[in-house]
Amino acid sequence: MPPATAEAVAVRSARRATRRATNTALAARGEPALFLLGGALAFGIIMIVGFLAMVFWNGVVTFWPKPIHVATLSDGTAVAGEQMRSEPYRISGSALQALPEAVRRQINANDGYAVRTLYRTGNYDLYNDDYRWISDYETVKVGTPPGLFFLERMEWGPFIGRIKSIDLAGNIMDGAGLDEKQLATAHAAARARWQRVRQIEHTEIGHVNREIEEERLAARREMLRHGEGSPQHRRALAEVDAHAASLKGTYDRLSSEAAGIKDIDDKYRITLVDIGGREKTMKLSDLVLFYPANDLGLGGQIRVYLARWLEFLTDEPREANTEGGILPAIFGTFAMTILMVIAVAPFGVMTALYLREYAKQGRLVAIVRISVNNLAGVPSIVYGVFGLGFFAYILGGSIDQFFFPERLPNPTFGTGGILWSALTLALLTVPVVIVATEEALAAVPRSMREGSLACGASKWQTIRYIVLPRAMPGIMTGLILAMARGAGEVAPLMLVGVVKLAPELPIDGVFPFLHLERSFMHLGFHIFDVGFQSRNSEAGKPMVFVTTLLLIFLVAVMNASAIVIRNRLKRKFVGSQF
Amino acid sequence: MATVINAPAGEKTAYHVRAGGEGANFSVAGFNLWYGAKQALFDIDMEIQKGLVTALIGPSGCGKSTLLRCMNRMNDLIDGIRIGGRMTLDGSDIYAPRVDVIALRKRMGMVFQKPNPFPMSIFENVIYPLRIDGVRDRGVLEQVCERALRGAAIWDEVKDRLSESALGLSGGQQQRLCIARAIAADPEVLLMDEPCSALDPIATSKIEELIDELKGHYTIIIVTHNMQQAARVSDNTAFMYLGRLIEYGDTDGMFTNPKLVKTQEYVTGRFG
């Protein structure tokens, strides 16, 4: 062993010092938790941003017009459609055996995988399918030839093909070298006729029907009140008969007007031909929107894009909700949420005021408070069951008994409706409001209450003039949270009033304007319905994203406006102390 | 321990002569207070003279704020409080069972340690005591507002921005605004609970000048930590220690020639 020089000792002791440093507990050195905590935050942010980006991107591109690809297959037929996506897939053994030798060898070289592309072919009435998978090995050639049209129709989904001819009341024009302006004018006129027919059939004849129904109900009410055959009943029946003649006249006039327009409309027809040469003749007014997909410039694409958004936002749904607009759902969601806030705000604030300001803080109040907090954790479908059982059947049933007996057995309030939905959601969100309000009340400085009391104010005056204004921003925060939760809730609504397709909006021009008993459409339910309940989930998928985007947007807008109001209140009431 | 040196009632002292102002006599007799099982005030006897400034001094936790807050029954808000003994305002017992606490508090303005303007305009702050009484006449309200703000020596600073939020004022201005609010309803007694402890020296001196001006119009009772302040603004001083009133007398006498050793130790800064 060599003698330990001073140098070696120094080195050794330095090494020992380092080793001793590494021996300190891990938690005592550096910040090992930092990576964990920061990582968790980063992970959360990535998930949320990724989710929003995916919804946003898919929602935004849905309405952009795609080119129509024509694939010529090895058997000589052609398929035209929008390319949706491509994916590799494992080809089954028997299918593989049927293929020619060269293709088989190529697929085998690729571990038995081939690539296929999904084409949206449209023409459901001709093909019995909207989509078709085309494998790469069967295609000979793919191209985007000019002259192909994408035509959205009132029914049967889109048509993809060429325009063979149009028949404008005997003036037949060939599809080739068609004057687009003339076609557009004729189409606009046809759509205007269709709109008029719809207005007559829905609004005006609907009005007549409503009058007839109301008189029938009035007569029935007299019968229930005074007995069948009583003078009052007979008088009411006579009135019904007297009016019936004039109403019948109105009805006949309207229906003959509609029939006349339809007769004219029948003369304007368009003949389409698909890529395989099969023809389809239909009324021009049955076309909603059409564009030459492969001949569009950027301007044309933007026009189509905006027109589709406009239709989406302002029209009613068509084709089992997979096409058309979602105005009723937007409106229903908005109206229901506002009703819910109107119901939950006073109820929650009053409850919290009593709990915090008046109740003696003892065991009972503690139990109540815990129960309220726990209510927030009850699954929402439970509230739906309660809402249906209590609000719709018991409460609504009683209202029907007392106020609308003549309509029974048809329920008025005794079934799901926007009012019961709003109340059910109010019940669901009231714990949030109570908790937030209690916290806001507790945060009002004691000095302010004392200042007010020392001025000789009563307790209620102190609450009314000092505590509530000061707590208002906090209460608003609670309402915002409640609104966000309520607007996105679907499960309970399915039991208490949301429907797939509502014939009428809950607010319209007919007295009493706000129809609380009506069922309504909701964006959240619309997503579920379109995505998972429709004939063709592939067709519904883009609509799912657009509707999701819109729901998120609607919730964000409602929250943002509430936050703006809250911040204004905060500036006004809280401010800085020094 | 109850060696209390009171100015005997009825006997003319220099201070009676000097004051002779408005306000109300306030008297405390055999007053005890318990927070739950813990006794906080012991047998307080005290005659507070009309129109004068009475300072309550003593170390932290000696019960001076508690005593002050008993005077307008602010302690009613605290759970588990019991009291014994009497407090009378101009001869009527304020703890009698039938007393209307709200009416009682309207006879006494109160100013707190931390300025506590309400989250509303300056004007609304000052007229709050009238507003809660349901006074709607704009002319009356404006007149009261101006009188109170002039009384609190803040009129010139805020007269052009009465409709702005009171929270935008500085700390000293806020405190004078609170004094204006306290005198707006024309009380007889003004209770001040360490009104300057959250303020800077300049704001403090302004408040002290104000107290001097208010003297004679109200019976002022001020709790203070600051012995110089007590010496400057008050006519009478009460020294409290551990919940008891140790010595009570005219301020000059208390500070120059205290009768008890404890008082002397405190006023000379030996403890507290």
Residue keyed to tokens 């009016």:
A243
Mean predicted confidence (pLDDT) in B175-193: 88
Give A250's pLDDT tier (boundaries 50, 70, 90).
confident
A445: chain B residues, CB-CB within 8 Å:
116
A72-123 pLDDT tens trace: 988 888 889 998 888 998 888 787 888 888 888 888 888 888 889 999 888 8
Write the DSSP string, A287-340: EEEEEEGGG--HHHHHHHHHHHHHHHHHS-EETTTTEE--HHHHHHHHHHHHHH
Nearest residue in chain B measured CA to CA from A458: B102
- Among A102-111, A377-386, A489-498, B156-165, the range scoring the smallest mean pLDDT is A102-111
- Enter the tokens of residue A526: 């619309």
CB contact under 8 A, A447 and B182: no
**Across the interface, which of B105, B167, B170 has its CB nearest the CB of A454?**
B105
Structure confidence at residue A385 (pLDDT): 93
Which pTM does this prediction carry?
A: 0.78
Share of chain A above pLDDT 90, in %: 16
pLDDT of residue A396: 85
pLDDT tens, position by position, B197-237: 888 888 888 888 888 888 888 889 999 888 888 888 888 89
Mean pLDDT across chain A: 84
- As a dihedral over the C-alpha atoms of residue A114, residue A118, residue A119, residue A122, rounded to 10 degrees, the angle is 140
Q: Long-range CB contacts (< 8 A, 24+ apart) of B8-11?
A: B9/B47
Under 8 Å between Cβ of A197 and A256: no
How far apart are the CA of B164 and the nearest CA of chain A, in angstroms?
10
Q: Which of these, A107, A124, A108, A125, lies nearest to A116 by C-alpha position?
A: A107
Segment holding A163, helix H or strand E? strand A159-168
Among A115, A69, A70, residue whose Cα is nearest residue A91: A115
Give pLDDT, residue A50.
95
CB atoms under 10 Å from CB of A364, counted, come to 10
pLDDT band at A6 (very low <50, low <70, confident <90, very high): low
- List the single residue in A451, A455, A575 with the smallest CB-CB distance to B132: A455
Residues 549-578 of A with CB under 8 A from B: 572-578
Residues of B in contact with A469 (CB under 8 A): 119-120
For B165, which of A452, A461, A575 is closest by C-beta distance?
A575
CB pairs under 8 A between A and B: 82
Out of B72, B103, B133, closest to residue A454 by CB: B72
B167: contact with A, CB 8 A cutoff: yes
> For chain A, first and last CA: distance in Å?
76
In chain A, the residue whose alpha carbon lies closest to the alpha carbon of B172 is A578
CA distance to partner chain B, nearest, from residue A446 (Å): 10
The shortest C-alpha distance from B221 to chain A (Å) reads 15
Q: Would you give the DSSP letter of residue B8? A: P
Q: What is the pLDDT of residue B10?
A: 44
pLDDT in tens, B232-253: 888 889 998 888 888 888 888 8
Mean per-residue pLDDT, B120-125: 90
> What is the pairing mode between strands B219-223 and B53-57?
parallel
Report how far residue B116's alpha carbon sits from residue A446's, in angstroms, rounded to the nearest whole number.
10
Which residues, including other chains, have CB under 8 Å from residue A246's CB and lie 6 or more apart?
none
Packed helices B201-214 and B171-184: angle between N→C axes, nearest 10 degrees: 20
CATH of domain A337-521: 1.10.3720.10
Residue B2 has pLDDT above 70, yes or no: no
Q: Answer whether A336's CB lies under 8 Å from A520's CB.
A: yes
Nearest to A450 among B112, B115, B185 (CB): B112
> What is residue A48's predicted lDDT score, i.e. its pLDDT?
94
Residue B82, pLDDT > 70, answer yes
DSSP 3-state of A270: strand
Check if B37 contacts A (Cβ < 8 Å). Answer: no
pLDDT over threshold 50, residue A338: yes
* Domains of chain B in sequence order: 1-107+189-196+216-272 (3.40.50.300), 113-186 (3.40.50.300)
Three-state SS annotation for A363-384:
HHHHHHHHHHHHHCCCCHHHHH
> Which residues between 326 and 365 in chain A have a beta carbon less than 8 angstroms from any beta carbon of chain B?
361
Q: B112 vs A455: CB contact, 8 Å cut-off?
A: no
Tell me whether B103 touches chain A (CB under 8 Å).
yes
Residue of A nearest to B106 (CA): A456
Cα nearest neighbour of A447 on chain B? B116
Which of A455, A571, A576 has the most B C-beta neighbours within 10 Å, making it the best mutation to test the interface with B? A455
Nearest to A447 among B102, B108, B116 (CB): B116
Question: CB within 8 A of A50, min separation 6: which ones?
Answer: none
Q: What is the pLDDT of residue A576?
A: 44
Residues of chain A found within 8 Å of residue B108, distances taken between Cβ atoms: 454
Output the DSSP codes for A63-119: TSPPPPEEEEETTS-EEEEEEEEEEEEEPPHHHHHTS-HHHHHHHHHTTTEEEEEEE
B74–A454 CB contact, under 8 Å: yes
Residue window 452-511, chain A: list those with CB within 8 Å of chain B: 452-458, 461, 465-466, 469-470
Q: Nearest CA to CA, how far is B259 from chain A (Å)?
A: 36
Which of A361, A455, A573 faces B128 most closely, judged by CB atoms?
Answer: A455
Instruction: Quote the CA–CA distance of B127 and B177 in Å, as a whole number.
Output: 11
**Cα nearest neighbour of B105 on chain A:** A456
Q: What per-residue confidence (pLDDT) applies to A20?
A: 54
Average pLDDT over residues A171-200: 83
Residue B133, min C-alpha distance to chain A (Å): 8
Is pLDDT of B8 > 50? no
Residue A4 scores a pLDDT above 70: no
Complex prediction ipTM: 0.85
pLDDT of residue B13: 42
